[in-house]
Chains A and B, each alone.
Chain A
Amino acid sequence: MWNRFLTMSCLGTLCLSPGATLLAADVPHATAVTAPISVAPYQPPADDSMPDDEFGKLVRLGKRIFTDTGKYAGKYVGNDLSCANCHLDAGRLANSAPLWAAWVKYPAWRGKNKMVNTMEQRIQGCFRYSMNGTPPPADSDELKAIMSYSFWLASGAPTNTDLPGRGYPALDKPAEPPDFERGRKVYTRNCALCHGADGQGTKAEGKIVFPPLWGNDSFNWGAGMHRINTAASFIRANMPLGKGGSLSLQDAWDVAYFMNSHERPQDPRFAGDVKATDKAFHQHQCRYGDKVGGKILGMK
């Protein structure tokens, strides 16, 4: 639900309500906990230093899964997205929820499911929500490969540390409350070129090039990216590709609000009642359960 935005006094920081996710900075789930970085971030190793052995094979598979998830882990994927759509540069890029920063922070307690999650469980959550699919079992090749790739990316990084560049950089509150119509204009001007007039993404030769942002083929209502603040942080830092930081703070909030005011696949925790799901799982900055254009979001 959205009215949280109006009642919160310190957006983009950790002052969220007890029901909100606190420890989610790694991902498209993140309410980012890091300030924009001023020191050089940790540098993951270069691809050509992947070891040439059985472990290296899994690392390479992990990278392939990350960049073309539908092709290499298709049975666990229920939409047209790939991990690297939100974790840019195949999970390497600082301020784009890099894998190396997540690796050193798990196991960790998460507000989202109110328990300590292992890294495996964290990745399984990505498949369930962001990929709108099925969690790969912990002993599956796919999950082992992503674990191996993450571990390798964090080679030499200090463990149990908030590395600079983790998650997406926290954003200040905009001057004006985010607005759908302003967001539509920002979208048309800056985003529709690649993501399509209706957020449907763009394919070439049958393959997704630019991911769908809403609708049946995008992330579901349980994914972190459906939160306005998370999406605004990601967008401001990274979009349009190659021009990160070019949108104003207000534009980033407005367009995130616009994007996330559209219907998308149901929250997998839904048990038959939007109001109850909203109350149980959406006490944060999102539009789930809100009426937009005469229809309640989350009814699909």
Chain B
Amino acid sequence: MNKNLTRIPLLLLALSASPWLFAASPDGQTIATQGNGKGATACIACHGQQGQGNADAGYPYLAGLSADYLRNQLTAFSSGSRKNAVMQPIAGSLSKQDIAAVAEYFSGLPNDRLKGSAATPSDVSGKGAVLARNGKWAAGVPACFRCHGADGRGVAPHFPPVVGQPEAYIRNQLVAWQTGARSNDPLGLMQSVVKSLSRDEIDAVARYLAAQSEK
């Protein structure tokens, strides 16, 4: 008892300094910018102040993605159907309410890559372009843009935007579908699609998609 009492001033100090301690579930912006105080670090440290991602480091943009999609991904990290050494512990430290709040927050942020007229394709005849735009149907691979939207800017909530994401991120995801490190796709669609893609093709399509929304 005595021991607990002596901690009260410290606790009060912490409360006054940390808005996330007041509510059972902090708001999305607070989680994004400061973490949730329960083990989840600030999202913006890697995903950028405005959720714009970090192309050099391969961290994807989150701004403007469907809230349902973001929520599904955090839940998948938490359950292990999407494996990632950095994201799994973070997602595991977020409550269901935290996940919903932070998903809403990033979903509401503006993202130039997903607005305005589509950028002129940087290349329309390379291997990556052909996969993204035409697919490899004879091997069961529809074009990326067949499901992710005509300009690859996504079809909410199940098909996220794929253009303008970092090349390394796209490549890692395609490899993760192949290895089973990521298995949270509805109907197993991506796991099925990547089966017959070679490493060369994965590299080419990642390069192409990453370059598409540069303006």
The interface of chain A, by Cβ under 8 A from chain B, is 47-48, 88-90, 92-94, 190, 193-194, 202, 204-205, 207, 209-210, 240-244, 246
State in angstroms the CA–CA spacing of A202 and B146 once bound together.
12
Contact indicator per residue, chain B 135-179, by CB within 8 Å of chain A (1) or not (0): 101101110001101110111101000000000000000000000
22 pairs, CB–CB < 8 Å, chain A vs chain B: A48-B125, A90-B134, A193-B158, A194-B158, A202-B155, A204-B150, A204-B155, A205-B151, A207-B149, A207-B150, A209-B150, A210-B147, A210-B155, A241-B146, A241-B147, A241-B189, A242-B140, A242-B141, A242-B189, A242-B193, A243-B187, A244-B140
Q: Which of B97-147 contact A (CB under 8 A)?
A: 125, 130, 134-135, 137-138, 140-142, 146-147
| Residue contact A194 to B147, C-beta cutoff 8 Å | yes
Query: B138 to chain A: which residues have CB within 8 Å?
Result: 89, 93-94
Are A89's CB and B134's CB within 8 A?
yes
A44 to chain B, nearest CB (A): 10
Chain A nearest CB, measured from B191 CB (Å): 10
Q: A-side binding surface: helix, strand, loop or mixed?
A: mixed
> How many B residues, CB 8 Å from partner?
25
Q: Does B9 contact A (CB under 8 A)?
A: no
Residues from 5 to 39 in B contacting A, C-beta threshold 8 Å: none
A-B interface, 3 closest residue pairs, ranked by CB to CB distance from nearest: A89-B137, A204-B155, A204-B149
| Chain B residues with CB under 8 A of A193 | 158, 186-187
Closest Cβ of chain B to A121, distance in Å, is 28
Does B79 reach chain A (CB closer than 8 Å)? no
Bound-state CA distance A202–B156 (Å) is 9
Let me know if B153 and A242 touch, CB within 8 A: no
Collect the chain B residues with CB atoms within 8 Å of residue A90's CB: 134
Q: Which of B151, B187, B192 has most A Cβ within 10 Å?
A: B187
Q: A89-B137, A205-B149 are in contact. List 8 more A-B contacts (CB 8 A).
A: A89-B134, A194-B147, A207-B150, A240-B187, A241-B146, A242-B142, A242-B189, A243-B189
**B141 contacts across to A, CB distance below 8 A:** 242
Q: A243 contacts B158, CB within 8 Å?
A: no
Which A residues touch B149, using CB under 8 A?
Answer: 204-205, 207, 209
- Tell me which of B134, B142, B154 contacts A204 (CB under 8 A): B154
Cβ contact within 8 Å between B150 and A242:
no
Q: Name the distance in Å between B111's Cβ and chain A's nearest Cβ.
A: 14
How far, in whole Å, are A83 and B125 apart by their CA atoms in the complex?
Answer: 23
Nearest CB in chain B to that of A246: its residue: B192
Q: For A204, what are the chain B residues with a Cβ–Cβ distance below 8 Å?
A: 149-150, 153-156
A247, B211: Cα distance in complex, Å: 36
**Complexed CA–CA distance, A241 and B136 (Å):** 12
Q: Would A205 and B153 be within 8 Å (CB), given that A193-B158, A193-B187, A242-B141 are in contact?
A: yes
Instruction: List the B residue with the shortest CB-CB distance to A203.
Output: B155
A38 to chain B, nearest CB (A): 15
